[in-house]
Amino acid sequence: MIKLNKSGILPILFMSILMDVSAQTGDLKLVEWQPVSQLVTKKTNITKAKFPVIDIHNHLGDLENTEHYLAEMDKAGVWKCVSLDALSKDDFYKEHIKVSTAVGKDRFLPFFRPDFSKIDEPNFGIKEAKKLEEAYKMGARGIKISKALGLGHKDGSGKFIAVDDPRIDPIWAKCGELGIPVVIHVSDPKAFFTPIDKYNERYDELGENPEWSFYGEEFPSKMEILEARNRVIEKHPNTIFVGAHFGNLPEDLSVVGRWLDTYPNFYVDIDARISELGRQPYTARKFFIKYQDRILFGTDTPCDAEAYRLYFRFLETDDQYIDPTPAHKLQGRWMIYGLYLPDEVLEKIYNKNALKVLGISE
């Protein structure tokens, strides 16, 4: 017979439970926590998209991997891929265009990237616009603006170069003249502009990459940067602007919608933001259907068939609780839900809108 103590508790069993609980509630760090979901849901395997795909947002500057990129595109049914790494700096764009054309003519679309380190030189904008025109004649089909404009590059005065700095105007105008788009990534996620504390929904990322934080008086605010971008869009109505990362405000689709309503020359792409979009599937699905003519496909992940397939699953299926991490990287620990978009909408997002923006005939 098992003896109880005066309180009626089994001492040995009680101590065993305490030991187990202690082992489970030790000093595990949040960044080390890797929970495995016990939820059983449907998983749809999609090897190729329903329609040929144009990836409007990628970085293929590692030219030695160009043949590998093409092979991965073929596996997933990706028709064309934009590389945003045709740098003006050191004339790298020349080599990029040369290699891309040799490996996959008409499959790769290099985008020229201006060199803002020369902003203080006389006639900076005119000179860079001339280089852009030369790059266009070689095969460049657009330009890319990174978040360093507004948050990184500084001029001789020591101030961040504003997105609407008039010295850049000749470049925007030249894009309109040539009929090529501007893929513009300025600012960053809202969480990157708030303190890295217990309230920050992207604490994991910022904890591992504190240099991604733009919180503090030394930086302009997120909306200040986006408002400067919008002034550029308004000032250059003949130039098409594609707001990278869903216009860099996927956290508030109502505002993105107002921008699309206000600026007919503004589009958005979905690259690296399916984590944000997929955690609000009802709102996102309605948005995609309403603005189906203004949304472009992009990944921001160097061509990888499995990453592409995750994007296809997000857009085409009604699968639930999808882990989006393999498509890009950890973002807020969010699981996402498929949008099961109508075929008409899918085809526009996969290629028709990009063909229009790029001025390419089918």
Answer yes or no: is pLDDT of 224 > 70.
yes
Determine phi and psi for 264, rounding to 5 degrees: -65, -15
| 55-358 is classed CATH 3.30.420.40 | no
The fraction of the chain above a pLDDT of 70, given in percent, is: 93
Q: What is the dihedral of CA 358, 359, 361, 362, to 10 degrees?
A: 30
User: Average of pLDDT values for 218-232?
Assistant: 98
Reported pTM: 0.92
User: Average of pLDDT values for 296-302?
Assistant: 97
Cα–Cα distance measured from residue 142 to residue 135, given in angstroms and rounded to the nearest whole number: 9
Cα–Cα distance measured from residue 232 to residue 247, given in angstroms and rounded to the nearest whole number: 14
User: Average of pLDDT values for 19-23?
Assistant: 49
Cα–Cα distance measured from residue 27 to residue 259, given in angstroms and rounded to the nearest whole number: 46
Question: What angle, 0 to 180 degrees and rounded to 10, lies between the N-to-C axes of helices 281-290 and 253-262?
Answer: 10
Which distant-in-sequence residues (6+ apart) come within 8 Å of 301 by Cβ? 58, 272, 307, 327, 328
Answer yes or no: is pLDDT of 14 > 50.
no
User: Average of pLDDT values for 313-334?
Assistant: 93
Question: What angle, 0 to 180 degrees and rounded to 10, lies between the N-to-C axes of helices 305-316 and 66-76?
Answer: 30
Q: Which of 159, 162, 154 is nearest to 228 (CA)?
A: 162
Cα–Cα distance measured from residue 274 to residue 299, given in angstroms and rounded to the nearest whole number: 9
Report pLDDT for 32.
Answer: 82
Over residues 98-115, the pLDDT tens digits come to 999 999 989 999 999 999
Over residues 132-145, the pLDDT tens digits come to 999 999 999 999 99
Greater confidence (21 vs 250) lies with 250
CA 318 to chain centre: 22
User: Average of pLDDT values for 124-134?
Assistant: 98
**β-strand partners of 296:** 269
Strands (E), the chain: 53-55, 78-87, 108-113, 143-145, 182-184, 241-243, 266-269, 295-296
User: Average of pLDDT values for 110-131?
Assistant: 98
Cα–Cα distance measured from residue 34 to residue 30, given in angstroms and rounded to the nearest whole number: 9
Report pLDDT for 18.
Answer: 47
Answer yes or no: is pLDDT of 26 > 50.
yes
Candidate from 99-108, 280-289, 324-333 with smallest mean pLDDT: 324-333
Candidate from 4-18, 211-225, 291-305 with smallest mean pLDDT: 4-18
pLDDT confidence of 25, banded at 50, 70, 90?
low
pLDDT confidence of 58, banded at 50, 70, 90?
very high
Cα–Cα distance measured from residue 333 to residue 108, given in angstroms and rounded to the nearest whole number: 33
DSSP 8-class letter at 158: S
Report pLDDT for 28.
Answer: 85
Greater confidence (4 vs 249) lies with 249
User: Average of pLDDT values for 336-342?
Assistant: 98
Query: Which strands, in side-by-side order, build the sheet including 266-269?
Result: 53-55, 78-87, 108-113, 143-145, 182-184, 241-243, 266-269, 295-296
User: Average of pLDDT values for 178-202?
Assistant: 97
Helices and strands, number each (H, E), in the chain: 15, 8
Candidate from 19-33, 88-102, 229-243, 295-309 with smallest mean pLDDT: 19-33
Report pLDDT for 1.
Answer: 47
Cα–Cα distance measured from residue 361 to residue 355, given in angstroms and rounded to the nearest whole number: 7
Which distant-in-sequence residues (6+ apart) come within 8 Å of 210 by Cβ? 196
User: Average of pLDDT values for 32-57?
Assistant: 94
| Whole-number average pLDDT of the chain | 93
Greater confidence (283 vs 328) lies with 283
Long-range pairs, 250-259, Cβ under 8 A, ≥24: 250/276, 250/277, 251/189, 251/190, 251/276, 253/280, 253/283, 253/284, 253/287, 256/287, 257/287, 257/290, 257/291, 259/230
